[in-house]
Structure 1
Amino acid sequence: MAKKKVQNDALATNNKARYNYAIGETFEAGIELTGTEIKSVRASQITIAEGFIQVRHGQAWLDNVNIAIFEQGNQFNHEPLRSRRLLLHKKEIAKLAAESAQAGKTIVPLKVYLKHGFAKVLIGVGTGKHTYDKRETIKKRDQERDLRRALKR
């Protein structure tokens, strides 16, 4: 019997996250979604660029993430910018709460993807970069690109 292929292609990525933050530890979390939300996510109609994670009352919440309204939905359609609960273990939530309590630490979503039919979000704990750090990141990326071009020839 043939094995099923697991699809881990990103439905949405936060390209600015690794540019603006030095990402340390990452976690994989499930997202609690309604019926029309998961249909929109599967259609890649999700934007996580402005999103962030907060820990409130012992639960992790994904805020400021836009999931577009499902066009075939009816009056029971979802609100696009509502807070969504993240599904994590208690120890992981406690670790995230401790990290975010430190000065300069932020928890940001890095990418959203499907895993075995469930929507997952990869979140990272990051420290904000200074302007000179961002310039170094650009310089390293350009050097690596030039090196790859030289090796191709």
Structure 2
Amino acid sequence: MSGQGAPRVAGDASGLRVAVVASSWHETVMDGLVGGALRALAEMGCAEPTLVRVPGSFELPVVAGAYAEAGYDAVVALGVVVRGGTPHFDYVCAAATDGLAQVATRTGVPVGFGLLTCDDEAQALDRAGLASSREDKGREAAEAAVATAAVLASVR
């Protein structure tokens, strides 16, 4: 099972400006991912994260980049792409993944990677942070973004 050995990352998000950029497709899965990210940020002391929804996962990089360039300390990118019968899945997954990595390296702002790329909806639901899920990828993405922001602050 994926998630085996995943680290539990603690961080202090007090005083950080954090944006959560989330796609709108697959509402149940996305509500779980967003909920997990917001809960984690609140537990880490981020009083008021900015939440913005975009149409789909393809749109995550451009909006994440805008928040990074606007001076946010970290961005949490959340989305889900479920494999279908066409190559569309491969193109969207690659574009979103590459785009988010480019945002982080170009701006120096950490981007928590919460993009689920699943073969079917059951896999997505199992990673969405819902009561019946085995994993909470929204929480993990938020924790990773905050922990990386702390590392970068110590270097700078």
Structure (1 or 2) with the greater helix fraction: 2
TM-score under structure 1 normalisation? 0.26
TM-score (norm 2): 0.26
